[in-house]
Structures are given as structure tokens and as C-alpha cells.
Structure 1
């Protein structure tokens, strides 16, 4: 369902250039992947503009949903509809040509998504191959996987010669203590100077425990304490995995930063400075 109903305004006052670095557009006019299992109701650019205005956000990164596999038309058409304040993260096969990558770049894409969970059309073995292809460019790899597997993939991620973005604070299937090996692995990975982490998807970890998702706070606060120069925030709108009774209010998700990153300078970095640099927004 589309989370475009009126809600409250957030308590957090966003800085200029504030960016939602993780949201999706769905439109049933575009064909679903043969591996798709999630078929959300339409959630349009116009629907999202209402959320964006309510939250006080100026910039947006549309992430290719796993629903559409390698067909990025819905995502890129939506970027075109929004204009210069939008960027994209797309999903491509390893056979993508350099000229096709250039076309994606010109259309606003800045990242290549590897969603290594249910419905995925990408493979782990392609991650180092594509990382080598984009070495030294403005592209990055965005990776999402079951965070409990973090120790299994830490060495691979550490060897990647490009910028890497980790989705949803590791996307753990349940809340974990800071001492857990999978969390220690995330924190070591996040300390690398080529790795960004999205402070997003709290409800994927602490299911149904909103609006404060207090069991996620230790992980988020540990990431912030380690350094805010490569942290990002995302709403993950329109939250198609969530039932109506558990649907988060995006204002609540933004306000989590008040507790996770109480310093205004840290929030400036997370919401504005870091995404402007990573996604190459004009400042």
C-alpha cells in the first residue's frame, strides 16, 4: 500500500539540501521481474512529493525495487519526472556495456544495486567484477543482504576497490546487541573510508516496535559515535512489506535522528553534506 496519507510534521527541522537516500516508486504499468514476489500498489512521484514536502526534504534518491529486476524504466522515468533534485540507484546485469552505464549516469544513476535477498536477480560473484569495472569512477555499489551473514561477507566487501553503500544498518532480521559478531562486523566495515551506511529500515530489524524502535538505537548510535562523515538517512518509503497496522509514519522515521544523532552538525552531515557528495548533487 502507498504511505501517502496525511501525517504529522516531524519535530526535526531539516537542513538545506536534506536528502532521502532510499525510497522507491512502484507503477503496475511496468512489468515485474520473473523472480518478483512483492507486487505493491502504485506509489507515484506525486504521492512521494506529499511526503517529501511534509518532511522538509529537497533531494531524493530513487532505488530500483527488486520487483522490477533489471528493468530500470520505472525508476529512471521517475527521476526524470522529479528533475535535478533526484538521483537513482539501478540494477544491471554483469554484461552491461560501458555505453549503457554512461546512459544510466546521464539519466541520474549513481549507484548499482545488489539486493542479495528474496527475489534477487543479482549474484554475489558479480560484486567484485562490477566493483573493478567502476574503480576510480563516481559510481558506487549499494549492497543489501541478511545482516546475520555479515561476517561471511566482510572480507569480500573489504577488498572492493570502489565506494560501497550498506543498506538499512545491516538489515538484521532481529535486534542484536552491539557485542554480536554480525554487528561488530558491520562496525568494522563502516570504519573503512570507502564505505557508507544508510541509517534506514529500522522496522526491518525491530519489527512492529515503532515509533521509537528502541532496540535498533544501540546500532545506530554506535555507527554515529564511530563517525558521521559517511552516514546517510533514508525513509524506505512506501514500506510495501509492512501491514497497514504496522505502517510507519515517515515523520517518526526522520525523528529517529534526534535520538540517534543529537548533534545538529551530525544531522547536517547525514541529511545534506554526505548525500550531496556521494550522489553528486549540485550545491
Structure 2
């Protein structure tokens, strides 16, 4: 029996076991036709608004969220700020900004709930940010207490190791470091991930299982060893995210199943990854009642 109908998800049943109270979905995107896309005339996909996401949130049983600026809007974070405001304190945002952004604009983003800058650089063909602006912008957001969120291919992490090492801010790495399924933990980037975790300034998102696997649903087999190893190395430095609305995927995954995978990966650390780590890192503990 279908229990729910959630846009851009095959999920019909709730996660099992249910997610703990105050669970955080630490990676999702919002697109809303009320806001102008970066490229004039580009259509905005339907059913990716904050209200649509609330259907998934209710279905999964999470109550906190980290909204990541979509490439669709380039450097215009209006849609992101609107979604954070509508969350009533239950969401934080990760923005994408131009290198010449003013200090006043950065402060306005901070007041609006933004806590980091994203650099999605794995695909140079449609990247909005750049490796060249990473260090200058990291230096500028340091005093705000923000972090850099980096989405890069494993080979890019290796190629830019020295640059990444030099960043003054905390670092969040998307989608388990995008290790190639054929190599997984044998890829040189895996040992970089280990070192960065152990040095204490880096966190990693256990998200995008379908981006790190060539075996497909339901188990995305190549991700099992990677996720479990990351958890063994540093369970206190990991988050989980749905990656809804799965913009890159023609065939949408089952989000409840993605949440269930975390249970298979994390075992006794499930609560820590879903609740404790994001509460401390993103500042949800500072919001009364959250």
C-alpha cells in the first residue's frame, strides 16, 4: 500500500527504524519558479520547492535541514534565503557567491541563516564557482565562523591537496569524496580523506550513494566499504543527507531506502550522525526548542 507520494522520490514507506528526534537531512536543494534562474529562459523544474521538500521531511521523519544553493541560481541566493526563512529556524544554508561579494552582503547572508560557501567543482563544464576563488573567499568568511563545502571528484582532491590543506576554515566534503566505484578505498584520495578527518578540521557527508556506485539500487554496493571505513575513522565528523530532489538523476531513488542505508553503514553511530554532529556543527543547539 502506498503511504506517501513525495515528488522526485520513489519512496512510499517510512524509514525503518524511524529516524531519531531532531534528525537532520544535511544535504538538499530547493528550486522555486518564483525566483529567476541564473541563465535567462532556463525553465525551473517543478515540485522542488520548500513546500515540496516538507512532504519528504514529514515522510522521513527528520526535522532539521541544510539547504545547499542550486547551480540553477548561480550567485543569487534569494531562493535559498527564502527557504531558510520559511523553515522557522529549522534549516541552515550553504551559499554560492561571487568573488567580489561585499562584506555587507556576506553579513546579510549570515543573518539569513547561511553558514558556509559551496564549491561544486567536480564538473568543470557547469561549475559556478572556481578553484581560483576558493582560498580568497575562505579567508573572507573565516571571521564569520563559516565553512567551505567542497564537491569535487576524487582525483581533483588529490590534485588540489595543497590548496585544500591551506584553507583556514573548517571543510565539509560532499558525497563521500566521490571515490570511483572501481577503486573505492584504494584510490589515493581515500587516505587524504582519512588524514583530513583525523586532523580535526574536516567533516564528510554520507550522501549521494548513487553517485558513488556502479551497481545501482537497492544497496549501491561499492558504497558499503567506503561508508563504513569513514565511520570507523571519525564517526564524530560525519553527516547524512538525502540529496533531494536528486537533480542529476533521471530515475529518482527511494529516499527512505537511502536513510535505511545509513543504518547499515553506521550501526551504533546512527544517532550521532543524524542528530548530534549536525546539531553542533550547524548550530541547531543554539535555537530554542530545536
Report the TM-score, using the length of structure 2 for normalisation: 0.89
After superposition, the Cα gap between the structure-2 partners of 1:39 and 1:172, relative to the gap in structure 1 and judged at 3 Å, is: farther
Q: Residue 57 of structure 1 aligns with which residue?
A: 62
Q: 2:24 aligns with which of 19, 25, 28?
A: 19
Residues 172-211 of structure 1 show CA distances to partners (whole Å, capped at 9, x for unaligned) of: 3544231221222222223221111000011011146112
What is the Cα-based RMSD across aligned positions, in Å? 2.1
User: Number of residue pairs matched?
Assistant: 279
Residues 1-283 of structure 1 aligned to structure 2 (within 5 Å) = 2-3=7-8, 7-34=12-39, 40-116=45-121, 117=123, 118-207=125-214, 209-244=216-251, 247-263=252-268, 266-281=269-284, 282=287, 283=290
Q: Residue 3 of structure 2 aligns with which residue?
A: none
Q: How many angstroms apart in 2 are the aligned matches of 1:262 and 1:86?
A: 26
Q: How many angstroms apart in 1 are the aligned matches of 2:34 and 2:182?
A: 37
Q: Which one has the bigger helix percentage?
A: 2
After superposition, the Cα gap between the structure-2 partners of 1:197 and 1:37, relative to the gap in structure 1 and judged at 3 Å, is: farther
Report the TM-score, using the length of structure 1 for normalisation: 0.91
After superposition, the Cα gap between the structure-2 partners of 1:191 and 1:12, relative to the gap in structure 1 and judged at 3 Å, is: farther
Q: How many angstroms apart in 2 are the aligned matches of 1:105 and 1:177?
A: 36
Q: How many angstroms apart in 2 are the aligned matches of 1:212 and 1:42?
A: 27
Q: 1:114 offset after TM fit, Å?
A: 0.8
Verify the 8 A CA contact 1:176 1:183 in the aligned structure 2: no
Q: How many angstroms apart in 1 are the aligned matches of 2:41 and 2:158?
A: 27
After superposition, the Cα gap between the structure-2 partners of 1:275 and 1:35, relative to the gap in structure 1 and judged at 3 Å, is: farther
Aligned partner of residue 204 in structure 2, secondary structure: strand
Q: What stretches of structure 1 of length at least 5 have no aligned partner?
A: none
Q: 1:35 offset after TM fit, Å?
A: 10
Verify the 8 A CA contact 2:214 2:222 in the aligned structure 1: no
Aligned partner of residue 135 in structure 1, secondary structure: helix
Q: Which moved more, 1:134-143 or 1:45-54?
A: 134-143
Q: 1:38 offset after TM fit, Å?
A: 9.2
Moved over 4 A (4+): 35-39
Verify the 8 A CA contact 1:37 1:119 in the aligned structure 2: no
Q: How many angstroms apart in 2 are the aligned matches of 1:62 and 1:125?
A: 24
After superposition, the Cα gap between the structure-2 partners of 1:34 and 1:174, relative to the gap in structure 1 and judged at 3 Å, is: farther
After superposition, the Cα gap between the structure-2 partners of 1:208 and 1:68, relative to the gap in structure 1 and judged at 3 Å, is: farther
Q: Which moved more, 1:146-155 or 1:159-168?
A: 146-155
Q: How many angstroms apart in 2 are the aligned matches of 1:175 and 1:236?
A: 22
After superposition, the Cα gap between the structure-2 partners of 1:270 and 1:175, relative to the gap in structure 1 and judged at 3 Å, is: farther
